[in-house]
Structure 1
C-alpha cells in the first residue's frame, strides 16, 4: 500500500469477468491537508494507484505502471461527502503484463475511467 492508512477494502467480489471492490477512504488522512486545505479532494493519481493496488491484490503479483492508455477524470471524490466508492476492474494477466480496464464510481457517478498496462515485477 503506497499511502499507509489511506483506504481499506470493505468488500471485493468477482462478478463474471469483472472485480467489484468497495473502498472506504480515510477522510482524516494527511493527503487531504494539502489537497486541498478546507476543501478536500482525492487526488487523481491516488485513484489510479488504487486500481494498481487492486490489480496486484487480484493477481497476487507486484506491478509497475507501463502504459496509461486512456485516463479520464470525470468527477471529484470528496471524502467529507461520502467515504466509500467502488472500483470496477477487468483484469487480464498475460506474458509478463497485466492489462486493466477500470471505472471508479462515487455516489453512483463515474469519477475515473482508466485503461492501463502494468509490467509484472519479479
Structure 2
C-alpha cells in the first residue's frame, strides 16, 4: 500500500470505503458515512450534517486513491453544494471522480450523490 494512504484525514474516521471501481481516469467510490465521528458531534450535535470542507477533503482523498499520488488542491473552479447531506439522511453516498492529467497536475471533476440526488459538484485543479 502506498505510504501516504495511511495518513488520510477522513477515511475510516468520517467515512469507510465499501466499494471502489476505478480505471485510469475515473473512479466510483461507494462510501458509508460514520455517524459516530467526532466531526458530527461538533457540526451539529442534535442534527448532524456533513460539513462542506469534509466533502471537499473526501473528494481529494478519492482523487488520491485514483491517481496513486499525494495531492493538494491548487484551485477550485467550481464547488456547488446542492443538497444537505447527513448520515441520517444518506448513510451511504457515491463519490464519482474524474481526473485529467495537465501540466500543473490533475484537473479533477467530482460529484457526491446517491440515487437521483446530487449533494456536491466539484471542479478544480490538484497538484502532486
* d(CA) in 2 for partners of 1:69, 1:75: 19
Q: Does 1:10 align with 2:18?
A: yes
* d(CA) in 2 for partners of 1:17, 1:30: 33
TM-score calculated relative to the size of structure 2 = 0.85
The structure with more strand, counted as a fraction of residues: 1
Check conservation: 1:32, 1:40, Cα contact below 8 A.
yes
Equivalent position SS for 1:85 = strand
Greater mean deviation of Cα atoms: 59-68 or 98-107? 98-107
Equivalent position SS for 2:58 = helix
Equivalent position SS for 2:37 = coil
**Aligned residue number for residue 96 of structure 2:** 88
Which consecutive residues of structure 1, in runs of 5 or more, have no partner in the other structure?
none
C-alpha deviation, 1:119, in angstroms: 1.2
**Aligned residue number for residue 21 of structure 1:** 29
Aligned partner of 1:100 among 99, 103, 108: 108
Equivalent position SS for 1:51 = helix
Aligned partner of 1:110 among 118, 121, 128: 118
C-alpha deviation, 1:108, in angstroms: 2.9
Deviations 1:2-53 (A, max 9, x none): 1362111111113795311101111010001111110000001100111100
Could you say if the C-alpha distance between residues 16 and 94 of structure 1 is closer, same or farther in structure 2, counting changes exceeding 3 Å?
closer
Q: How does 1:64-79 map to 2 (within 5 A)?
A: 64-79=72-87
Q: How does 1:58-69 map to 2 (within 5 A)?
A: 58-69=66-77
Which consecutive residues of structure 2, in runs of 5 or more, have no partner in the other structure?
1-7
Task: Return structure 1 stretches of 4+ with deviation > 4 angstroms.
Answer: none
* d(CA) in 2 for partners of 1:92, 1:27: 33
